[in-house]
Each structure stands twice: as structure tokens, then as C-alpha cells.
Chains A and B, each alone.
Chain A
Amino acid sequence: MKVQSVLEFAEQARAGNIGIEENTHKILDKVFAANGMNFFNVISKDLALQQAKELDSRVKQGKASGKLFGLPVSVKDCICVKGIESRAGSRILDGYLPVFDATVVSKAKAEGAIIIGKTSQDEFGFGTFSTNTGIGFNAPKNPFDSERSCGGSSGGSAGLTAFADFAHVSISESTGGSIACPAGFCGVAGFTPTYGLVSRYGLIDYANSLDKIGSMGKTVADSALLLESIAGHDEKDSTSLNEKPSFADEKNFSTKGLKIGIIKDFFGEGINPDVSKIAWNSIKKLEKAGAKIKEISLSLNAKFSVPAYYLIAMAESSTNLAKFCGMRYGAQESLSGSFNEYFSKVRSNNFGEEAKRRILLGTFARMSGFRDAYYLKAMKARTRLINEFRLAFKEFDVLANPTMPVIAPKFSEIEKLSPIEQYAMDLCTVPSNLAGLPHISINSGFSQKMPVGIMLVADYLQEKKLFRAASALEELQ
């Protein structure tokens, strides 16, 4: 069944052809009924209905405006929504009700979005399958096969987007591939922008130099419309770029002459052959439509980006997680002992296993004596890895590779993977994330009835190119 596009929905809603409160009720019923799929950590029913009422009355007053007017929008749990429990999937943030909206949330609200809830994720984003959940949280299930993972860490966003038979988009977040990976596993469009294009103000940090808020939708156009609505300069985020992109407004573009670089390092060893073949088929379709295809090797990235990424990400996250100590917000324990003993008790009892692992590894990587060999070396490596991409973009408009090396694995298979094996699954998504380059994952086909994602990467601030190429490919599928 074809679901109404976001563009069409908002148009109808603004025209008064959709009862917004009625539609919101219907959708809330659906998501409550699907509670067993674990897409949500919190469903913000009261907020959504209150917003819906206000929008209905705006229609009546003839004041309906906004790109996302009346549209149900879900938000990854790590993005703050004022007054709605925001925990980034961690028990240590139990009861944290932000006193402010993240900039992306206020921008979405200003465009008429209705916030329906906080989607499930790996605790603080620390995972590839949304199975590294915080204590007391459940992993979202893949709508194509509930024994399989949605991917991660924005697993709830992707699962819900695939599951929804209604117009909906999700504000998600990627540090090392947390948008592309679940989008690939769930067969939806996941758009990760250039680092700095979207404000991070109100994002509960994983690794600040890598975190990017992006979007998910059923189609490239849906995800692009959301991204465009939440992008733009924000003086509250010092790393925010002074750009207001516009890329979702075009139709009928040609792929003629589009230069696509095929990252051959991500089609061979370590990649499931079926996945590789399906991604190649998509590229062939683009070639037929006039694109110029050429293989390229990003050998430095293939070899070093995963270790460099994990060192930087863990070093930064180990400092970000220091603030959680049961003093000002979130989980508390009975007061006893010195502050050190109390902080340790709160942290020991309320962080999940992967969070503790990353705190330990990240702290180790930045201690004097190891700092030069790990943290600083990884920072230097990052510069060289970026340069490898810069060279590639002198020749190509976009680069392509399969989003993930496998189809969404079963929960029973994931249990058997060691942390290192799990980290290695990020091989294809980490390089563009470490470099802060915009990328999109869209569905490329199916293997064993499960979606296979293909990922396109463009140069900094070339979201428009990415949108065109991905839209064209979507048409050809």
C-alpha cells in the first residue's frame, strides 16, 4: 500500500482536509497497539493531542502554515523534548524532564510537527543493533521479521518508519552510522547531513565531534523535507554552520553525467556476497540511466577509520557520561558514604554494560601515558582519512557502497558476537561519519526477504547532489 507523502499530507492538513486531532488519535492507537515492537521509550500522547488541537484551531482561523503541518513526528530518545522524559535509552536518566526543547524539536514544532514520542535506541547510541539497551529497556524488533534487529542505534526510529502505514517521519541521530545502519536494515531512507548543518543543541551527547542529527522517512523526499525543516544555523551550538540549505524542492532531474565512485573496499571481503550483488544491481541501474561509474579504493579509510572512530568516540563519550552521578537529575540512590561512593553507586547500578565498557576504554585512551598513543593519534589519523575523501571528491559527485555488510541479523546471532565483531559491522558507515560527510541510505533490494541498503556519500554541504542521486535511484528501483 502506498502511503501518502509528507508533502501531500501537510498540504491536505493545511487545507483542512484532514482532521488533525482525529488523525493523531488514530496514529496513537496504532503505536500503542504495536507496543510489543518496542519502537518507543515514551509515547507522548498528551503533548501530541494538545498540539493537534491547537493545529486544528489554527486551520479554522485560516492560519495553517508549516512544512510539517499536522504530521506525526517521532524523535530519538537522545534528543530533548521539553517536559517529556528524555533518557537516551539509559536508566541513569530516569525521570529527566528537559526544561527546554532541542533546537531541532522547536524548529519541527514551528513547522507544525506533532511530537508523538521518543524512539528506542542503544543506550546513549552505543551500538549497531539497538540491543545494547539501558537497564529496563527493550530492543526494537524489525517489522520485516520480529526475530531480527532494526539495526542501531536509531533502531526505534527506523523500525517505526518502516512499520508506519501513515505519513510519518523521525528525527534521528548518527555518530558512526546510527541513521544509515537501521535505515538500511529496515528499508527506509535515512539522511545524515554534513556535520554542523543541523544544530546539536538539546542532543544528549554521545561523541560531540561526531554527532549529527538527521532524518528518516519512507522516501528520500520525506526524509529530505524533514531535514530541510530542522537544518540551519543555531547560535546556541558553536559548531553549527552558517548555512540554510534548500535541497528538497526539485523534481525531474537527470542522472546523466553523474560521476559515481564505487568504493571497492566495501564490496569484497567481509561483505555478504548477496548484499554486495544487490547493491551493485542498483549501481548498474544508475549507469543505465546515464551515470558514469568508476571504482575507487579508500584503502586508508577501509583500514583505519573503525579504530580511529572508536577511540575518538569513546574518549569523548567517557567525558560526556561523567555528568551522570545522581546529583542534579536522573536516577538517584539512597544517600550514604562520601560523594565518591555515592557517585560510584549511582553509576554502577544504572549504566548498562556497554556504557561501562566505553567509559573504561575511553578513559584509558585519554590518560596521560596513553593519550598520545591513542586519543591524539586517532585525531591525527582522522585528518588523513578526511584528506582521502577530499581527493576522491575531486573526481566524483557521489560515492557508493552497501550500507551494512549483512542483512539485519537475528537477536540470537547478535548475542554471539563479541564487542569487536560488533564494532567491525560499522566498516561501511563509519568513514563518512568520521569525516562528517553527508550521506543517505535507501533501499536497494531484498535478500532473504530482508531489506538491503545502499549508501551514497557526497562532499561537504552537497546535500542537494545527494538528494538528486538518491531520488533518481529510488525512481529506478
Chain B
Amino acid sequence: MTSQIMIGLECHVQLKTNSKLFCPCPTRQETEEPNSACCEICLGMPGSKPVLNKKALDFALKVALAFNCKINEKFFFSRKTYFYPDMSKNFQITQYEIPVGSNGFVELSSGKKIRIRRIHLEEDPAALVHEAGLLSSSHCLVDYNRSGIPLIEIVTEPDLSSPQEAREFLDELTMVLSYLDVFDFENGTLKADCNLSIVGNERVEIKNVTGKRNVEKALESEAKRQSELVKQGNQIARETRGFDEKSLSTKTMRKKETEEDYGYIFEPDLVAFELSKPEIEKTRRGLPELHSEKAKRLVKEFGIAEYDAKVISGSRFAGNLFEEFAKAVSPKIASVFVSRDLVAIAHHEGKELEEISGRINAVQLKELLVFFEKARINEKTLKEAAIAHVAGGKNPVDFVKENNLFKDAAGSEIEKIVSKILSSNSKAVADLKAGNEKSLNFLVGLAMRESKGKAEPREIKKLIEEKTK
């Protein structure tokens, strides 16, 4: 009998606002210079006071609405007090009693609903830098550039029943973040505290796992560890564990007997905030088309394959890219190029398409696709040029020109090659005429070799078929 697993996630997502949650400092900057984007407020200097960034609130509200949450019309902030060197005030301004949104849900592809307990806004602590690695550094440095960057925390109920389901949930989450344009996929971070238990046993928390893939790996490793313990008849200890990305395993951080006590009080420097019903409705109406609706629309409107439509609607970036390409070439070519070729290039680097968006120039790629549609380049060249563009920063059209990869250069030659191949392989031609398909492939192969890969197999095949009719 396989044991039943329960997983709950607390996801922390940095929001893509220009300024920090409670001060005007920038959230992103040109240089990596530590402690260059901070002020008296995010440094927690005596006398400074927070002022809420309304944009961050708007972003949180959008996420809560997209996840079907009940929006609390009146909410406030609280102080969560604990001592830690990354905390500028030794308390974090967060939301406790009443978050922005609560009681929402996300629907997985199976139709299963994952309940969202709450979505709230809070400030990111500073970053701790261990120069010689976490274990061997004698000291640690603090970089306050991160201090005060807005985060939303999304807390699920323990409704996820496998690491794969957790991954699917996170994919849904990032798709929503992408559509709402509230997350910086290139520079922002997504972290999760993962709670996993085997029904009837104690719960274990894996703290601070960065990225979707690591969450899935951490949960897989933890599920395996716990299952084995249970199988052997051992107890599972209530504890907090950390995930080691190198060994892909979890390790004990601290045993905990009881819940930590943060001594929450209302944040008295911020007033209670009120969102009126019309304001909430306005935001709801202003939400962009989300991915599931978009996938349906793409199939209907462009007649592309369902698989491609699903991949393309998986991120706002891919969707926009497709629609841009589809203005210049057929939806089929555009969709296949985005959902297979570009996605494969990103995956090759271990990334999502959105994460390499900064290296993709839609105008240049569009030009490349036009060449492909007009059959001036073949599929192989298309892929190579795309790789040279994304991985090498090369203009793909220049790449084709410089390497003389245009088919037309060889255009009239192909016919000559085909004629030559046909005349010197009369047995294979006879077999083909007799209906032997293998002979066709044999002849195409020969012609391809002769053209040194510049010709298109489809085109050669067509020529051979015409000439052997």
C-alpha cells in the first residue's frame, strides 16, 4: 500500500514594482554594488517611518483575485518580531490577522482544486552574504539592497498530494504571475517553504527552497525519506529541514517542539487600509485574459494545435511573442517555433522561456521566420540561427547571411542533384516505381548528402516523386 502524502506550500514571490514596499528606494538597479539602494527607512534607522507602496498593494490584489480569493475590504499590517541579522528592525512588517485575500483556490489540469488559505503582502529582509560559503565563512556580510522589496506570500492548504502536483501548482502560479505582469522572471526570486507529511505522521517543513524545480526535487527527496522511515516502522520527527541543491537531499536545520512565537502587534505606523467594493470590482474587470482562456482562444482563433496553444499560453511572454510572429508568418509556423524551438533552447539552459526573454529580439526572429516561410532557409538553419541568436547574442539573419545558409543559393542545383541521383540509381528508381517506400528514403538520403545538408528533405522528396511518376 502506498502511503498518502500531504503537501502544503508557502510561496514567497518578489513583486515587480519600481520602488520598495515602504520607501522610494529602487527594487532593481544597474550595478550590483551592495548597500547602494537603501535609505533610512529600509535600513530601519531610528526615526524613520514606512509608507505603503500602492502599486504593491494593487499587484497583491490582482494575484488574490486571479486565485479566486475573498478580498478583505479592510486590512492592516502587523509587526512580526524576531531577532536575526538580516532584519533591519528585528521585526518584519507583514500581515497577520487580515491579509489582502483569503479562501481562494487554483484548479489543476485534472480538475482538482487546491485551496489557497491566504495571500498577503510583506517586506523582504536583507540578503546575508557568506563570502567563503555558508559553512566555512567566519563572518557574514549584509546587503540591504534587498531589504524592503515587496513580497507576496501565497499559502495553500495541504491539498497537494505529490511533488508533481506541487510542481503543477507552481507552474499555474508562475503562469498567473506572468499574465498579471507582477513578477520579474529574469531577476526576481520565487521561494517556498514546503510542508510535507505522510497521513498519520508528524509534519516536516523544508524552509526556503528557491525555484520551482528545486521545490519539486526537495519534495521528492523528502517524500522518499519519510516513506522509507514509515515503512521501517520509525517515527517521523517534527522538524525544520533545509534543501541542499548539490546532493538534492534535505537535512535537519532545527527540531521544533512548538510553533515559534512572533508576538504580533498591529503596525502602528501604518493606518488601516480600505478597499471599496467598486475599487475591487474595477481591478477584477481589469484583469488580463489568463492562460486557460487564452489557450482556448488561440486554438479557436488561429487553428493551432492544442499542445502548442497550451505551451504558448503558459506565459505572457510566449503568448505575446507568438501573436507578434503570427502577424508575419502563418500561425502554424509561429506556434511551432515558439512552443518547440524556443522553449527547447530555454530548457537546454535549464530555464523557462520567460527567464531568457531579455535575450530574445522579436523583430529579428520575425525576419528569420519570414525566410523560413518563403522557403529561403530550411528547418535546420532556422533552429541553428535561433540558437546563435539566444545563446550567442547574434542577429539570426546575419548568421544566415554570413554562413551562406540560404537554400536558393543552391536552388537550381537541387534539381541537378536529384536528376543525377536518379540517373545513377536506376534499380532504386525501379523499386520505387514498383511501390517500395524504402527506396524513396534511400534516394532522399543520397540527395541530401550530395547537397551537403542545404536542401530541404521535403523538397527533395517532392522532386523525386514528381520525376518518378
Residue numbers of A with Cβ under 8 A of B are 79-80, 86, 88, 93, 96, 98-100, 102, 200-205, 207-209, 235-239, 315-316, 318-319, 322-325, 327-329, 339-340, 343, 363, 366-368, 371, 375, 379
Chain B residues with CB below 8 A from A363, complex form: 81, 263
The reply to whether B46 and A96 contact each other, CB–CB distance below 8 Å, is yes
Chain A residues with CB below 8 A from B266, complex form: 209, 379
Looking at the complex, which of B4-12, B85-93, B302-310, B378-386 is the stretch in contact with chain A?
Answer: B85-93
B145 to chain A, nearest CB (A): 15
Known: A99-B40, A322-B83. A328 touches B269 (CB 8 A): no
Chain B residues with CB below 8 A from A319, complex form: 79, 81, 91, 263, 265
- The chain A residue sitting closest to B83, CB to CB, is A343
Which among A100, A102, A238 has the highest number of chain B CB atoms within 10 Å?
A: A238
For the complex of A and B, list the 8 residue pairs with the smallest distance between their C-beta atoms, beginning with the closest: A322-B90, A208-B268, A209-B268, A80-B47, A366-B263, A202-B47, A204-B46, A323-B89
Which among B43, B48, B268 has the highest number of chain A CB atoms within 10 Å?
A: B268
Q: Of B47, B81, B269, which contacts A204 at CB under 8 A?
A: B47
Q: Would you call the interface of chain B mostly helix, strand, loop, or mixed?
A: loop
- Restricting to B68-94, which residues have a CB under 8 Å from any CB of A? 79, 81, 83-85, 88-91
Residue B253 interfacial (CB < 8 Å): no
The reply to whether A328 and B261 contact each other, CB–CB distance below 8 Å, is no
B161 to chain A, nearest CB (A): 31
Q: Of A99, A201, A322, which contacts B81 at CB under 8 A?
A: A322
The reply to whether B263 and A238 contact each other, CB–CB distance below 8 Å, is no
Chain A residues with CB below 8 A from B51, complex form: 235-238
Chain B residues with CB below 8 A from A100, complex form: 40, 47-48
The reply to whether A368 and B261 contact each other, CB–CB distance below 8 Å, is yes
The reply to whether B40 and A86 contact each other, CB–CB distance below 8 Å, is no
B137 to chain A, nearest CB (A): 13
* A324-B91 Cα distance, complex, nearest whole Å: 11
* A200-B89 Cα distance, complex, nearest whole Å: 18
Selected A-B contacts with CB under 8 Å, 21 pairs = A96-B46, A204-B46, A205-B47, A207-B268, A209-B268, A236-B51, A238-B52, A315-B265, A319-B263, A322-B90, A325-B90, A329-B46, A339-B83, A339-B84, A339-B85, A340-B83, A366-B263, A367-B261, A368-B263, A371-B263, A371-B264
Which among B40, B43, B45, B88 has the highest number of chain A CB atoms within 10 Å?
A: B45
Q: Of A200, A315, A318, which contacts B49 at CB under 8 A?
A: A200
B122 to chain A, nearest CB (A): 15
- The chain A residue sitting closest to B23, CB to CB, is A236
On chain B, the number of residues with a Cβ less than 8 Å from chain A's Cβ atoms is 31
- The chain A residue sitting closest to B263, CB to CB, is A366
Chain A residues with CB below 8 A from B158, complex form: none
Chain B residues with CB below 8 A from A88, complex form: 46
* A79-B43 Cα distance, complex, nearest whole Å: 18
Q: Of A209, A328, A343, A366, which contacts B44 at CB under 8 A?
A: A328
The reply to whether A93 and B46 contact each other, CB–CB distance below 8 Å, is yes
Chain A residues with CB below 8 A from B83, complex form: 322, 325, 339-340, 343
Chain A residues with CB below 8 A from B49, complex form: 200-201, 236-238
A81 to chain B, nearest CB (A): 10
Chain A residues with CB below 8 A from B142, complex form: 327
A360 to chain B, nearest CB (A): 12
B32-54 vs A, Cβ < 8 Å mask (1 yes, 0 no) = 00000000100111111111100
Known: A238-B51, A323-B90. A375 touches B46 (CB 8 A): no
- The chain B residue sitting closest to A200, CB to CB, is B49
Residue B270 interfacial (CB < 8 Å): yes
The reply to whether B261 and A238 contact each other, CB–CB distance below 8 Å, is no
Q: Of B89, B264, B271, which contacts A238 at CB under 8 A?
A: B271
The reply to whether A201 and B90 contact each other, CB–CB distance below 8 Å, is no
Chain A residues with CB below 8 A from B40, complex form: 98-100
4 new A-B contacts, CB < 8 A, other than A238-B271, A322-B91, A367-B263, are A205-B47, A343-B83, A371-B264, A379-B266
* A239-B272 Cα distance, complex, nearest whole Å: 10
B246-275 vs A, Cβ < 8 Å mask (1 yes, 0 no) = 000000000000010101111011110000
* A198-B269 Cα distance, complex, nearest whole Å: 14
B134 to chain A, nearest CB (A): 15
The reply to whether B261 and A86 contact each other, CB–CB distance below 8 Å, is no
Q: Of B44, B89, B269, which contacts A208 at CB under 8 A?
A: B269
* A318-B83 Cα distance, complex, nearest whole Å: 12
Chain A residues with CB below 8 A from B84, complex form: 339
B254 to chain A, nearest CB (A): 13
The reply to whether A102 and B264 contact each other, CB–CB distance below 8 Å, is no
Q: Of A239, A323, A368, which contacts B46 at CB under 8 A?
A: A323
- Restricting to B149-192, which residues have a CB under 8 Å from any CB of A? none
- Restricting to B95-109, which residues have a CB under 8 Å from any CB of A? none
- Restricting to B255-299, which residues have a CB under 8 Å from any CB of A? 259, 261, 263-266, 268-271
B397 to chain A, nearest CB (A): 51
A331 to chain B, nearest CB (A): 13
Chain A residues with CB below 8 A from B263, complex form: 318-319, 363, 366-368, 371
Chain B residues with CB below 8 A from A367, complex form: 261, 263
Chain A residues with CB below 8 A from B89, complex form: 322-323
A138 to chain B, nearest CB (A): 22
Known: A323-B88, A328-B88, A363-B263. A80 touches B269 (CB 8 A): no
